[in-house]
Chains A and B, each alone.
Chain A
Amino acid sequence: MAAGGHQLMRPTKDSVRDRLAQAGIEVPEECLEGVAANLDVLVDHVSTLRAFALNPRSASAMTFTA
Chain B
Amino acid sequence: MSATTNLTERGAIGLAKAVREGRLSARDLCARALARAEALGPECSGFTRLLQRRAMARADAVDAVVSNGGDPGPLAGVPFGVPDQFDIAGQVTHVGSRTRAHSPLASRDAKAIALLEAAGAILIGTQLMDEAGYGFVTMNEHFGTARNPYDETRLAGGAAGGSAVAVARDIVPFSLAFDFNGSLRVPAALCGVIGLKATFGDLPLDGVFPFAESLDVIGVLGRDIEDVALVREILRADRPQSEAAPDRPLRFGRLLSWFDQNIGAEARAPLEQMWSEVGRVGFDLEYAELARAAASIIIAAEGASLYRSALEADPMAFETPVRDRLLAGCLLPAEDYLRAQRTRNWIQQRARGQFAKSDVLFTLAAPGFAPLISDPVMDFADEKVPARSHLGIYTQPISLMGLPALVLPLAGEHAMPLGVQLIAAAGQEEILLKAARQLLDMGLCRVPDPAQD
What residues of chain A have their CB less than 8 Å away from a CB belonging to chain B?
1-6, 11, 16, 19-20, 23-28, 31, 34-39, 41-42, 44-46, 48-50, 52, 54, 56, 58-66
Contacts and interface: CB of A to CB of B under 8 A. Distances in A.
B278 interface: no
B244 interface: no
Nearest to B320: A34
B73 to A, nearest CB: 30
Contacts of A54: 339, 342-343, 346
B329 interface: yes
A56 to B, nearest CB: 6
Contacts of B338: 61
B343 A59 contact: yes
A40 to B, nearest CB: 8
A60 B346 CA distance: 8
Interface stretch (B182-190, B233-241, B263-271, B287-295): B287-295
Contact of B348 (A6, A36, A52, A64): A64
B335 A5 contact: yes
A54 B401 CA distance: 17
B201 A66 contact: yes
11 contacts: A1-B334, A2-B331, A6-B335, A25-B312, A34-B320, A39-B328, A46-B332, A49-B339, A59-B345, A61-B339, A66-B199
A19 B339 contact: no
Nearest to A15: B331
Given A34-B320, A42-B329, A66 B342 contact: no
A34 B348 contact: no
Interface residues of B, number: 53
Given A38-B327, A54-B343, A64-B348, 11 more contacts: A1-B305, A4-B335, A20-B327, A28-B315, A39-B331, A46-B332, A52-B343, A64-B200, A65-B348, A66-B199, A66-B427
B321 interface: yes
Contact of A45 (B200, B297, B402): B297
Instruction: Classify the secondary structure of B's interface with A.
Output: helix
A58 B337 CA distance: 17
Interface string B10-46: 0000000000000000000000000000000000000
Contact of A1 (B316, B324, B332): B332
B333 interface: yes
Nearest to B292: A45
A41 B305 CA distance: 18
Contacts of A41: 296, 328, 389
Contacts of A26: 312
B403 interface: yes
Given A25-B311, A63-B345, A48 B335 contact: no
A39 B333 CA distance: 11
B315 A31 contact: yes
A17 B109 CA distance: 41
A1 B304 contact: yes
B426 interface: yes
A52 B345 contact: no
Contacts of B346: 54, 58-59
A64 B344 contact: yes
B300 interface: yes
